[in-house]
């Protein structure tokens, strides 16, 4: 799979996203290593300040819109009239036709286990009761080709670590690959891109390097995507919510292995495992550190 197959992909050599830092190793010898940069970004909805998030700083427009969508502050039918980003002030303002006021909502929130600032408003969980996901199939031949392609794509995840990646895919083709210091930020960037590009979620697959927590499940369901895959493990609440929403939930997807704990009926086992490559040693080492 070529990196050219992506509509958007990581650029691990973007000088804005990493820095080289000097130190010493376990023997006391001097070393220089690449570290991920994080910056504060304040998101406004019209005239109201909503949140300040720590982010690598790329795609601020997608991040802002996706965050507001996934926090139920933007509706799917909202008309966004402008997205204004000031790099010097580190502020992005999303402007809508509809008048908005979320002062009361900002006082009612549940802290989640997501990295950096991870908050989900309580009424988002209640909203899952009325969600109906499309009954899209997942072929294991797609899954193995997809995960192998993602794992071998040059990324900040492989270059510097300390970052999470999320990929939107269709069948065995990755479409958009976003990274950020918080897994929820990477999700929100994809949600924002889908909103602006008017992308249908019905036949899409969502892949994440992060854990399958309640927050990840809620955001995937809110985006209307029927399949969620991760190389990491599950939380009990994440599994429970996925089963309630009929979301296909697959974790520990590494090399030949994976475990499905929800929505198993969508899976078509059409891949001969004799022809599936094991995960590379380099990726296993990097992922072991990332999963801690």
Tokens 């940069």 belong to residue: 37
Domain that residue 94 falls in: 1-292
Q: Give the CATH number, domain containing residue 120.
A: 3.40.140.10
Nearest to 290 by CA among 162, 177, 150, 187: 162
In this structure, the dihedral spanned by the alpha carbons of residues 272, 5, 76 and 234, taken in order and rounded to 10 degrees, is 40
Cα distances (angstroms) measured from residue 85 to each of 42, 97, 117, 253: 10, 18, 20, 37
Q: Count of alpha carbons within 13 Å of 38, Cβ hemisphere only?
A: 17
pTM of the model: 0.86
pLDDT tens, residue by residue, 113-139: 344 444 444 555 666 767 779 889 999
pLDDT tens, residue by residue, 219-275: 899 899 999 999 999 999 999 999 999 999 999 999 999 999 999 999 999 999 998
How many domains are there within the chain?
1
Residue 19 neighbours by CB distance under 10 Å: 12
Q: 198: alpha, beta or left, given left = phi > 0 and alpha = psi -120 to 50?
A: left
What mean pLDDT is reported for the chain?
A: 86
Cα distances (angstroms) measured from residue 39 to each of 88, 175, 289: 12, 26, 22
Q: Are 248 and 273 in contact (CB under 8 A)?
A: no
Q: Are 248 and 264 in contact (CB under 8 A)?
A: yes
């Amino acid at each position: 799979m070529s990196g050219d197959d992506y509509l958007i992909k990581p650029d691990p050599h973007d000088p804005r996203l990493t820095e080289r830092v000097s130190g010493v190793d376990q023997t006391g010898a001097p070393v220089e290593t690449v570290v991920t940069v994080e910056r504060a970004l304040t998101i406004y909805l019209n005239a109201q300040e909503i949140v300040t998030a720590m982010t690598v700083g790329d795609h601020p427009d997608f991040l802002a819109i996706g965050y507001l969508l996934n926090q139920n502050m933007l509706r799917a039918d909202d008309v966004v009239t402008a997205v204004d980003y000031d790099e010097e002030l580190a502020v992005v303002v999303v402007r809508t036709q509809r008048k908005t006021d979320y002062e009361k909502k900002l006082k009612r929130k549940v802290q989640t286990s997501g990295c950096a600032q991870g908050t989900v408003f309580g009424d988002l969980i209640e909203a899952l009761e009325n969600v109906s996901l499309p009954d899209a199939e997942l072929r294991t031949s797609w899954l193995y080709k997809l995960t192998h392609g993602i794992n071998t794509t040059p990324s900040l995840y492989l270059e510097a670590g300390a970052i999470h990646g999320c990929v939107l895919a269709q069948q065995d083709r990755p479409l958009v690959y976003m990274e950020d210091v918080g897994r929820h930020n990477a999700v929100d960037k994809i949600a924002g891109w889908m909103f602006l590009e008017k992308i249908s979620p019905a036949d899409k697959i969502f892949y994440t390097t992060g854990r399958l927590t309640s927050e990840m499940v809620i955001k995937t369901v809110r985006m209307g995507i029927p399949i969620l895959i991760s190389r990491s493990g599950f939380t009990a609440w994440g599994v429970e919510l996925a089963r309630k929403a009929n979301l296909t939930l697959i974790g520990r997807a590494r090399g030949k292995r994976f475990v499905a704990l929800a929505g198993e009926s969508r899976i078509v086992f059409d891949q001969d495992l004799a022809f599936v490559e094991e995960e590379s040693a380099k990726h296993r080492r990097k992922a072991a550190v990332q999963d801690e």
